[in-house]
Amino acid sequence: MPDAMVAARDSKAASGTAQQVDVAVVGAGFAGLYLLHRLRKAGFTTVALEEAGDVGGTWYWNRYPGARCDIQTIDYSYTFDPELETAWTWSEKYATQPEILRYLGFVADRYDLRRDIRFKTKVTEAKWDEAAERWQLATDNGARISCRHYIMATGCLSAPKPPEIDGVKEFGGEVYFTGRWPHGGVNLAGKRVAVIGTGSSGIQSIPLIAEQAAHLTVFQRTPNFALPAHNGPSPSDRMSLLQGDRAAYREQARQSMAGVPYPQQTAVSWQLSDAELRARFEEAWGKGDLVYILTQLWADQGVDVDGNKLICDLIREKIGTIVKDPETAAALMPHDHPFGAKRPCLDTNYYATYNRPNVTLVNLRQEPIKAITADGITTGKRSFDVDVIVFATGFDAMTGAIRAVHPITGRGGKSLYDVWAQGPQTYLGLTVEGFPNFFMITGPGSPSVLSNMAVSIEQHVDWVVDRLKALRDAGFTTVEPTETAQAGWGQHMADCATLTLHRLANTWYTGANVPGKVHALMPYTGGVGPYRSICDEVTSRGMLGFKLTGPDVAAQCNDGEVVRLQPDVRLVLNLLGQLNLPPIESMGALGARAFVDEFNKGRPAGRPIGAVTDGTLPGTDGPLPYRLYRPATPGPHPVVVYFHGGGWVLGDEQSDDPFCRDMVRRTGMIFVSVGYRHAPEHRFPTAAEDGYAATRWIAEHAAELGGQPSPVLVAGWSAGGNIAAVTCQLARDRGGPEIAGQLLVCPVTDCTFDRPSYNDNATGYFLTRSLMYWFWDLYCSPADRTDPRVSPLRGKVSGLPPAFVVTCEFDPLRDEGIAYADAMAAAGVPVEQLKARGHFHSSFTMADVIITGVSGRVQMAEALRRFAGLPPEVRRGDENSHGHASPGHKIAAAAS
């Protein structure tokens, strides 16, 4: 497409006199165009500076053969104006680059945006002028600019990275970069062509280049997962959803994880038979939709190495069936990263292209490129004479266009280049501390490249422009995030990153593709919907984490961290909040038990283990039920006596099933979960005495249960933690049984409610203060509450077995758990504590829902093995590494 007919609009200002605007925007792609439209509507004077000759951003530059979007085009569109939506019809499921560029030109015309864009103009410097409280910009074309606010809408993949191969300048043939493809096209007919790189750009262009070239040699360093696009008309099912209720469809996209309206998948892989797994995969393969296959197969695919490996195997099998030469097929199969951890690709005939006689694949892992010569490319083993080299080698992503293109100097002369030397730090991915009135659209720390960019861009732009409007109306002239808020966002980013498998791949998401770049996962992995709600929360909490100043208003600094909960805990609590449940204590004991039963039916099934058997054991007043969880490994195993949670009122020997299974898998031990009797039918000290009696019986019958003979271990959660702690005291005082160690997870240890955590976490974290009052009232009369059989903190705490005590930051019981651990330690008991940041009372027992609880459960399992005298071989695959990670895997190594 020719450059814009509208020439770069030179500022009327004489050279040396700056053009004065409220807001300057860099970039006229998807983000820049929408910014201009919104800013103008909000009454801001604006200019956009664009290096290219026309609008389009990435779609202006990436004109290589086969360039298309790989999010369905009906989803990859602006949604801010319903009339625009109906005024444009996409011709294909995945539109080509020329069609997308035409669309962006259409949008620019429709809203008359070009009149505020200075094309062919590069910013060469941006400096914050402290006295004027304005950004001063220098450009390579036309007047300087002085603006109140400076917004980078520069895209995430706009700075191509250099080829990093010696000798490019020596090459006598033609050289092209996919990211800077000539506008007039390139005639490759009859030529010997080399393509270096097999990311999305390479995978899209290789089949078309192969059709034109006399011979194509593909130089592949890392194979990538690619799926057939099955391009054509937009699928009728998606179209009818969109057309059936456009507003609802768009809203679902905005609240979704990836910015495309698909529901949250709930089935987990271990619940599905092999036939079901394969059927789901085949359906996804047939759909030709990246977001579908990345999110809809099974719930654990993106968070668990085992669930992910199932998909990797199935895709590798597909590659094997398409590519005829086994050696080539093997070289094309990715083994070094989980599916989705590196950006997968959509293709048209990619793998089949390697069956063509004029295509050769060179596996650079076996023969790295040594140099580019005048005639072609030399590897460690061979030389390839070529006429054309196409570099599909990617970009200095996310930070390249912001950090390195021009110096950006903030408050106190600080350069963004230096501030980000150890990796990008931002608040919300939108702002940076020390850089007032500076914003980024889809910056590092925002969902951006892990989402449908169109949806994220609209959200970012709306949020920024709405804030600028509100600040202006309130008389504020500067806005800047605080250090605390930015550090908190960094922590939240890191917490989110532990949820996904991105940390197990070296990719441009982490900066690993650029030599010397600091490794850090740059996009926000917490999802589009949660991100949107966090941004809204910042606003509703009075611009939390921002300093605001203005000449005629009092400065405001509402400091703080917007998210302190672990990301999955936040999701669970939000979901529970949306259910608007009545307080459990208002349901009565029977109603509450029925509620808990129903609630538990909705959770993911526990993972398979060796065996689960039910039985009864003799209690003090008759039989007590138990459930025994046995590992798949040969026994005999150490035995852990387990007490479920439920405030002495709720739950049973089956109600902590996922936790017990998880711990059995990790520890390799038998767990016997005891069905002790409940209040109000059986009040204090029944639960305590049942717990002790059960422990004694299990210890005496450990061998019959398939376990190692005594000593046993005890463990429990919440009221079960209370029973476990009490059992250890009773066993010490009543002559046994011998207990090798105690695991107390968020235990009740004392009858007073005056510790700070009872107030700090009184409501909002599922277990409330009033629910605890109710539990206590049902179980124990006030006169009995100081009895160590219910308040073990008031008992003698010396001479107890070694303990591992877990407490959660957002739990009313936090401080009494810590107090008990401290008291035991002070009395000489070997005690380890896990004070779990950002977690709530149920974090660790909601195995497979609260994924951030994995590392805590690994520590618990390690402790139990230590107590039992076993070597520290804890199953930690889902925490640390991908099954196929290569030994030199930097990120994986860092994670362990």
Residue ranges in contact with ligand N01 by CB under 6 A: 68-70, 157, 163-165, 178, 196-202, 204, 221-222, 343, 364, 392-395, 449, 508, 513
Cα separations in angstroms, 705 against 617, 628, 636: 11, 8, 9
3-state SS class at 415: strand
Comparing C-alpha atoms, which of 270, 246, 261, 194 is closest to residue 79?
A: 246
Q: Is the peptide bond before 636 cis (omega within 30 degrees of 0)?
A: yes
Residue 372 or 641: the one with the smaller Cβ distance to ligand N01 is 372
Residue 165 or 640: the one with the smaller Cβ distance to ligand N01 is 165
Query: How many whole angstroms separate alpha carbon 503 and alpha carbon 396?
Result: 18
> Residue 372 CB, nearest distance to ligand N01 (Å)?
11
* Inter-residue contact 722 to 716 (CB < 8 Å): yes
Residue 290 or 834: the one with the smaller Cβ distance to ligand N01 is 290
* Inter-residue contact 810 to 844 (CB < 8 Å): no
Residue 76 or 476: the one with the smaller Cβ distance to ligand N01 is 76
Spatial CB neighbours of 260, under 8 Å, sequence gap ≥ 6: 71, 72, 75, 253, 291, 452, 455
Residue 55 or 464: the one with the smaller Cβ distance to ligand N01 is 55
> Residue 334 CB, nearest distance to ligand N01 (Å)?
10
Residue 61 or 463: the one with the smaller Cβ distance to ligand N01 is 61
* Inter-residue contact 266 to 299 (CB < 8 Å): yes
Provide the β-strand partners of residue 177.
391
Provide the β-strand partners of residue 146.
20, 136
DSSP string spanning 479-502? EEE-HHHHHHHHHHHHHHHHHSSG
DSSP string spanning 536-575? HHHHHTTSTTEEEEETTEEEEE----S--S-HHHHHHHHH
Query: How many whole angstroms separate alpha carbon 252 and alpha carbon 886?
Result: 39
Residue with tokens 């009395």: 827
> Residue 364 CB, nearest distance to ligand N01 (Å)?
6
* Inter-residue contact 354 to 220 (CB < 8 Å): no
> Residue 895 CB, nearest distance to ligand N01 (Å)?
19
Comparing C-alpha atoms, which of 398, 424, 569 is closest to residue 499?
A: 569
Overall size of the chain counted in residues: 896
Residue 64 or 810: the one with the smaller Cβ distance to ligand N01 is 64
> Residue 179 CB, nearest distance to ligand N01 (Å)?
6
3-state SS class at 77: coil
> Residue 56 CB, nearest distance to ligand N01 (Å)?
13
> Residue 681 CB, nearest distance to ligand N01 (Å)?
60
Q: Which helix (H) or strand (E) holds 831?
A: strand 831-840
∠ CA(873), CA(304), CA(348), 5° rounding? 140
Q: Is the peptide bond before 551 cis (omega within 30 degrees of 0)?
A: no
> Residue 383 CB, nearest distance to ligand N01 (Å)?
17
Residue 332 or 535: the one with the smaller Cβ distance to ligand N01 is 332
Residue 341 or 824: the one with the smaller Cβ distance to ligand N01 is 341
> Residue 631 CB, nearest distance to ligand N01 (Å)?
39
> Residue 725 CB, nearest distance to ligand N01 (Å)?
52
Residue 198 or 708: the one with the smaller Cβ distance to ligand N01 is 198
Residue 198 or 843: the one with the smaller Cβ distance to ligand N01 is 198
> Residue 525 CB, nearest distance to ligand N01 (Å)?
15
Count each helix (H run) and each strand (E run) in the chain, helices first: 27, 29
Query: How many whole angstroms separate alpha carbon 119 and alpha carbon 60?
Result: 12
Residue 476 or 508: the one with the smaller Cβ distance to ligand N01 is 508
> Residue 196 CB, nearest distance to ligand N01 (Å)?
5
> Residue 453 CB, nearest distance to ligand N01 (Å)?
9
Residue 73 or 673: the one with the smaller Cβ distance to ligand N01 is 73
> Residue 229 CB, nearest distance to ligand N01 (Å)?
9
Mapped to the 3 state alphabet, what secondary structure does 683-752 carry? CCCHHHHHHHHHHHHHHHCCCCCCECCCCEEEEEECHHHHHHHHHHHHHHHCCCCCEEEEEEECCCCCCC
Q: Are strands 803-810 and 739-745 parallel, antiparallel or unpaired?
A: parallel
> Residue 738 CB, nearest distance to ligand N01 (Å)?
56
Strands of 639-643's sheet in order across? 611-619, 622-630, 670-674, 639-643, 712-717, 739-745, 803-810, 831-840
What phi and psi values does residue 130 have, to the nearest 5 degrees? -60, -45
Residue 63 or 814: the one with the smaller Cβ distance to ligand N01 is 63
Residue 354 or 395: the one with the smaller Cβ distance to ligand N01 is 395
Residue 340 or 817: the one with the smaller Cβ distance to ligand N01 is 340
Measured from each CB, the residue nearest to ligand N01 is 199
| Token pair recorded at residue 253 | 């996209």
> Residue 507 CB, nearest distance to ligand N01 (Å)?
7
Burial classification of residue 872, based on how many CB atoms lie within 10 Å of its CB (0-12 exposed, 13-18 middle, 19 or more buried): exposed
Provide the β-strand partners of residue 383.
378
